[in-house]
Amino acid sequence: MDFQIPSETKELLGRIREVMERQVYPLELEFVKQGKSFSAMIPRFKQTRESIKAAGLWAPQVPKELGGMGLEFCDHALVSEELGRSPLGHYLFGAQAPDAGNLEILHKYGTEEQKDRYLKPLARGEIRSCFSMTEPDRAGSNPTWLDTTAVKDGGDYVINGRKWFTTAAHGAEFAIVMAVTNPEAPPYARASMIIVPTETKGFVHVRRIPVMGDEGDDYASHSELAYENCRVPQANLLGQEGGGFMIAQERLGPGRIHHCMRWIGICERAFDIMCQRAATRLIAPGKPLGTRQTVQEWIADSRAEINAARLMVLHAAWKIDKEGLYEAREEISCVKFFVAGALQRVLDRAVQTLGALGMTDDTPLAMLFRHERAARIYDGPDEVHKSVVARRILKGYGIQTG
């Protein structure tokens, strides 16, 4: 067992940290503290992205032939933590969800034509995309049960249905839509992924959904969409017909590792802010907040939970690398709910430590607290992952649990 981070990776993380401090945090201050909209910031974001490209730090997870850094999975996990320290980190370095996941599946399953039209400009950061699976009228935690259909007509698919919480649909160039193409097939073989350019007639952007008081815009938003006789060529099918769930599983496994490491980055940032405040806020002359035992306990609990979370995620990433997604599915589910819970607890302690200041947008804490509550819901709610883990364990004890 070797806990040493290779010196090359350390050097890379140091370079990224330097860019985060010099270029990303100042932009974050404008975005969060001054409450500017995402779209108003885009020209500034573009400049920063260009300079990150020039520094050779663009798209850490993307293969080199597509203009990325082509990092190994475990190295990218560590980079993801570093970028997670700011809500803008992944976006500015070209590693943001849902584009990162869409890139992966387009790279693996896309036809040459799909790669030219969608994958290459996406990898260069010239366009954005979204992933449209969850529906308002169907439980997202049972993704095999979808209402949206794609019916063949001539050389086209005609798509009908409603979707919501399609992150970053506003301003996206295309959506990857999950729709039922084979209703008579077994549940896991019913749906397919289909690429739909957002300019297609019948692709209706209904609204940006206000989430925790903020409807956001452009990349930083979640949309409700309607597909109304939305017609695309059958050549827009991604992978095999009926293969949607298989591709979704491949997309979600590594995606959960990236999310978890991003959340650990958020934890570290919140921890830093909490400790700085504990060390400097005087509650009586000469007595900083950090002299109180309760605050010390929050600091110690947070340190232990973050360390545990990181080790669990890196172990899951290592297992995916060595044994594959299928063998690692228990570890993936464990980290998904454990890290999301740790994130929520660490953010809550940090807000509490800052008192009223923690409720303001003078620090990134309040924004992170609002936005990251969703971590326990998206990519599978806590309860679903816990059930996956417990069912697998109990199987070893001879119990079938449904």
Ligand X SMILES: Cc1cc2nc3c(=O)[nH]c(=O)nc-3n(C[C@H](O)[C@H](O)[C@H](O)COP(=O)(O)OP(=O)(O)OC[C@H]3O[C@@H](n4cnc5c(N)ncnc54)[C@H](O)[C@@H]3O)c2cc1C
Q: CA separation (Å) from 254 to 25, 80, 109, 260?
A: 27, 12, 16, 10
Closest approach of ligand X to the CB of residue 155, in Å:
27
Give the DSSP H or E segment for 79: helix 73-84
115, 149, 378, 391: which one binds ligand X (CB under 6 A):
378
134, 181, 221, 236: which one binds ligand X (CB under 6 A):
134
Whole-number Å distance between alpha carbons of 293 and 311: 27
Q: Is 384 in the site for ligand X (CB under 6 A)?
A: yes
Closest approach of ligand X to the CB of residue 259, in Å:
11
Angle between helices 365-372 and 244-280 (to 10 degrees): 150
Q: Is 131 in the site for ligand X (CB under 6 A)?
A: yes
Could you tell me how many residues of this chain bind ligand X (CB under 6 A)?
A: 19
Interface stretch with ligand X, choices 39-47, 161-169, 227-235, 356-364 (CB under 6 A): 161-169
DSSP alpha helix (H) spans, 94-184: 99-109, 112-114, 120-123
Task: Determine the 3-state secondary structure of 31 from DSSP.
Answer: helix
86, 148, 167, 223: which one binds ligand X (CB under 6 A):
167
Q: Is 374 in the site for ligand X (CB under 6 A)?
A: yes
Q: Is 253 in the site for ligand X (CB under 6 A)?
A: no
What is the sign of the dihedral through the CA atoms of 140, 141, 143 and 145? Answer: negative
Q: Please say which residue, 44 or 345, places its beta carbon nearer to ligand X.
A: 345
Closest approach of ligand X to the CB of residue 165, in Å:
4
Q: Is 383 in the site for ligand X (CB under 6 A)?
A: yes
153 DSSP 8-state letter: E
40, 55, 139, 308: which one binds ligand X (CB under 6 A):
139
Burial annotation 37-74 (CB, 10 A radius, 16+ → b, else e):
ebbebeebbeebbeebbeeebbbbbbeeebbbbebeeb
Pairing of strands 156-167, 222-233: antiparallel
Binders of ligand X in range 97-116 (CB under 6 A): 98
CB closest to ligand X, residue no: 140
Q: Is 381 in the site for ligand X (CB under 6 A)?
A: yes
Closest approach of ligand X to the CB of residue 400, in Å:
16
Binding track over 218-237 against ligand X, x by CB under 6 A: ----x---------------
Q: What are residue 233's DSSP bridge partners?
A: 156
Whole-number Å distance between alpha carbons of 297 and 24: 31
Q: Is 182 in the site for ligand X (CB under 6 A)?
A: no
57, 133, 180, 314: which one binds ligand X (CB under 6 A):
133
Q: Pick the closest to residue 39 from 103, 118, 100, 128 (CA basis).
A: 128
Whole-number Å distance between alpha carbons of 298 and 345: 9
Q: Please say which residue, 147 or 301, places its beta carbon nearer to ligand X.
A: 147
Phi (first) and psi of residue 150, to 5 degrees: -130, 110
249 DSSP 8-state letter: H
Closest approach of ligand X to the CB of residue 387, in Å:
5
Binders of ligand X in range 60-99 (CB under 6 A): 98
Q: What are residue 273's DSSP bridge partners?
A: none
Q: Please say which residue, 278 or 342, places its beta carbon nearer to ligand X.
A: 342
Closest approach of ligand X to the CB of residue 13, in Å:
28
- Counted residue by residue, the chain has a size of 402
Q: Please say which residue, 102 or 302, places its beta carbon nearer to ligand X.
A: 102
Interface stretch with ligand X, choices 88-96, 119-127, 251-259, 374-382 (CB under 6 A): 374-382
31, 45, 165, 219: which one binds ligand X (CB under 6 A):
165
Residue found by looking up tokens 């969409």 in the block: 225
Q: CA separation (Å) from 173 to 198, 270, 361?
A: 6, 34, 31
Closest approach of ligand X to the CB of residue 334, in Å:
16
Interface stretch with ligand X, choices 6-14, 111-119, 282-290, 379-387 (CB under 6 A): 379-387
Longest Cα separation, the chain = 79
Q: Please say which residue, 277 or 329, places its beta carbon nearer to ligand X.
A: 329
Binders of ligand X in range 284-303 (CB under 6 A): none
Give the other-Cβ count within 10 Å of 247's Cβ: 21
Contact residues for ligand X (CB under 6 A)? 98, 131-134, 139-141, 165-167, 222, 374, 377-378, 381, 383-384, 387
